[in-house]
Every structure is written in C-alpha cells, then in structure tokens.
C-alpha cells in the first residue's frame, strides 16, 4: 500500500518524506514526540496525547507551528489517507533546521511530521503467560537534567537500559531513579499489586505521566480497587503479588519475573487480568471517531 507521511503541512509518499541533515531533532535529539493508537477507527485519548505533546514542547521552549486543532485534523486526515482502521501513530515535532551549533534560536521553524502505520504488538503469549523483565543498571535521568516527564526525542537513557534488556534476553528493563527508587521501564510505566492494593510510583520522581497509566488508574477506581502512588524499592517489586506494565504500544501487560525472581504465583494475577480485560473494552468504546 502507498503509505503517506504528513510533513510540514503536506502529505508525501513514504520515500519522498525527507528532512534536512541539519534538523536539530536529528543532530541533537532536540524535539518532542507522541505515540498514539487508533482502534477500530477511533483514536484513543487523542486530546490527552496532544496536551502532553504541547506541555513537553513548552517545557523545552519549542513553539509548535500548528494549533492543537490543526494537528488533530492532520492525524485524522493521515489515518483516512492511509485507510487504517487500527494504527500506531507517531507525531514528531523537532526544533527544525539550524546550523551545527546547539543554539535553538538558529532554528527558525519547528519541523512537524506524522507517521501512521500498522502496529506490531508483543506476541499474545506474553499477555497470557506474562513477561520476564530485568532491573537495569542504567538509572533514569534525574528530573533536573532531561526531565522524563517530557517525551523528548532524546531517548538514549532508555536505549541504554533497553540494550541491557536485550543482552539479558528479555523484552523490557525497569529503571530506578538515581536514589534507587523504582521509576519506570524503557517504554512503559510499572504497577504492582500487593495485598489487594494497586501501586505505581509517583510521576514526579522521574517517570512519564503515562496516558495508559492514567486510564488504568481510572479503571481500577471503577472496580473499587484501592490505589496509591508510592515510592518503591526493588524489594517491593520482587515481593509483589502481581506486577504489570502499561504503555500505548504494550497496553496492559503482565510481568511474572524480575531479575529471574518469580513474582507472585509466576502467572498473571487476577487484578492484572481484570484490568487487561477492562482496558481492551475501553479502547473499543472511547476515542475520536474518523
């Protein structure tokens, strides 16, 4: 199929969608992005994703040269153009073309592009049997350096941890904060269930305020599951009754072993299973139609 790419106001064929080698998104990882899903011709939490994109851009003092409404419109047009009922959508805003110096003032206009394609999920066996993960030696960026609440194009911190995961033959790695508290995975937030209570780390310690994380917290509240944001140490994960990850690409995925230590029964737990079920129902129901 002739996949189109949105780039600075125009729709290009995939092979014609090109950006400059002087774009600071490429030279310095200077920019922000979002990963968004569409399910059955509905874009899930589109407003929330675009809000997070604009907040991130504001934090890094990047002016997005389109309004939220224009960007929303571009996402929908691209999905229609590419005839996608289900999709993974990547919205990227870079600092734009500058010179070889760091100074963002040299970049006169941000570059905006959107890719919408088919989603490649984790194999279904991981949703049924759970995922083994590791705790990486790489620590999450301190919020005073590159704040993890900005979904920036600079993902080297996450990539280091991902390389550790690959070396240990697992799909995901959990990162701790500089002080050794449980933070988040390379592309997902983490939850545990302990004595019937659902816990995730507070985002302020240096984790992305995940859209899926937020949706799961609301679903848990609807089920009257007790929930708290709590600081945790690795031991809290090792001794949890259940553990799972949340993210736009992964959705809700059970974790059954961390660093080779079995979590709970070693099988996806009941709370996790109900939340997977609720989340799958929610994405079918909610979203911006196109």
**Minimum distance from residue 63 beta carbon to ligand PMP (Å):** 23
The residue (of 88 and 98) whose beta carbon lies closer to ligand PMP is 88
Which one is catalytic: 106, 151, 233, 273?
151
Site string for ligand PMP, 206-235 (x = CB under 6 A): --x-xxxx----------------------
Q: Characterize the bridge pairing of strands 31-39 and 42-43.
A: antiparallel
Candidate segments 7-15, 106-114, 193-201, 240-248, binder of ligand PMP by CB under 6 A:
240-248
Candidate segments 22-30, 106-114, 241-249, 275-283, binder of ligand PMP by CB under 6 A:
241-249
Assess 188 for contact with ligand PMP (CB under 6 A): yes
Residue with tokens 């490649």: 120
HEC secondary structure over 145-163: CCCCCCCECCCHHHHHHHH
Alpha-carbon distance 173 to 180, whole Å?
14
The residue (of 97 and 150) whose beta carbon lies closer to ligand PMP is 150
Residue 218, token pair as written in the block: 């609301």
**Minimum distance from residue 132 beta carbon to ligand PMP (Å):** 19
Q: Is 77 a catalytic residue?
A: no
DSSP H or E run through 243? strand 242-247
Residue 246, token pair as written in the block: 């949340």
Give me the DSSP letters along 63-121. --SS-HHHHHHHHHHHHHHTT-SSEEEEEEEE--B--SSS-GGG--S-EEEEEEE---P
Number of residues that bind ligand PMP (CB under 6 A): 14
Assess 184 for contact with ligand PMP (CB under 6 A): yes
**Structural contact between residues 96 and 55, judged by C-beta atoms closer than 8 angstroms:** no
Which residue of 126, 246, 254, 269 would you call a contact of ligand PMP, by CB under 6 A? Answer: 246
The residue (of 210 and 269) whose beta carbon lies closer to ligand PMP is 210
**Structural contact between residues 31 and 153, judged by C-beta atoms closer than 8 angstroms:** yes
The residue (of 106 and 142) whose beta carbon lies closer to ligand PMP is 142
**Structural contact between residues 240 and 268, judged by C-beta atoms closer than 8 angstroms:** no
Q: What are phi and psi of 64, to 5 degrees?
A: -80, 120
**Structural contact between residues 44 and 37, judged by C-beta atoms closer than 8 angstroms:** yes
Site string for ligand PMP, 129-158 (x = CB under 6 A): -----------------------------x
Which residue of 94, 141, 152, 189 would you call a contact of ligand PMP, by CB under 6 A? Answer: 189
**Minimum distance from residue 252 beta carbon to ligand PMP (Å):** 10
Active site residue ranges? 151
Interface residue list for ligand PMP (CB under 6 A): 35, 158, 184, 187-189, 208, 210-213, 246-248
């Amino acid at each position: 199929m002739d996949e189109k790419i949105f780039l600075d106001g125009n729709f290009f064929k995939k092979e014609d969608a090109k950006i400059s080698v002087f774009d600071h998104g490429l030279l310095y990882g200077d920019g922000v992005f979002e990963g968004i899903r569409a399910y059955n011709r509905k874009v899930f939490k589109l407003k929330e994703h675009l809000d997070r994109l604009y907040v991130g851009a504001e934090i890094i003092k990047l002016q997005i040269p389109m309004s939220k409404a224009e960007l929303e419109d571009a996402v929908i047009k691209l999905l229609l153009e590419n005839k996608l009922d289900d999709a993974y959508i990547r919205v990227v805003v870079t600092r734009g073309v500058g010179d070889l110096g760091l100074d963002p003032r040299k970049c006169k206009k941000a570059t905006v592009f959107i890719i919408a394609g088919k989603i490649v999920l984790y194999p279904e066996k991981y949703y049924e049997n759970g995922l083994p993960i590791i705790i990486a030696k790489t620590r999450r960026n301190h919020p005073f350096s590159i704040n993890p609440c900005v979904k920036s194009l600079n993902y080297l911190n996450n990539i280091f941890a991902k390389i550790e995961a690959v070396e240990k033959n697992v799909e995901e790695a959990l990162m701790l904060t500089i002080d050794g508290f449980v933070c988040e995975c390379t592309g997902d937030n983490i939850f545990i269930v302990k004595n019937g209570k659902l816990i995730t780390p507070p985002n302020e310690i240096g984790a992305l305020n995940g859209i899926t994380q937020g949706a799961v917290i609301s679903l848990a509240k609807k089920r009257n599951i007790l929930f708290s944001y709590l600081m945790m140490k690795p031991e809290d994960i090792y001794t949890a009754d259940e553990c799972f990850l949340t993210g736009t690409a992964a959705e809700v995925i059970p974790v059954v072993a961390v660093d080779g230590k079995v979590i709970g029964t070693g099988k996806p737990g009941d709370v996790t299973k109900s939340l997977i079920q609720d989340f799958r129902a929610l994405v079918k129901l909610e979203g911006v139609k196109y």
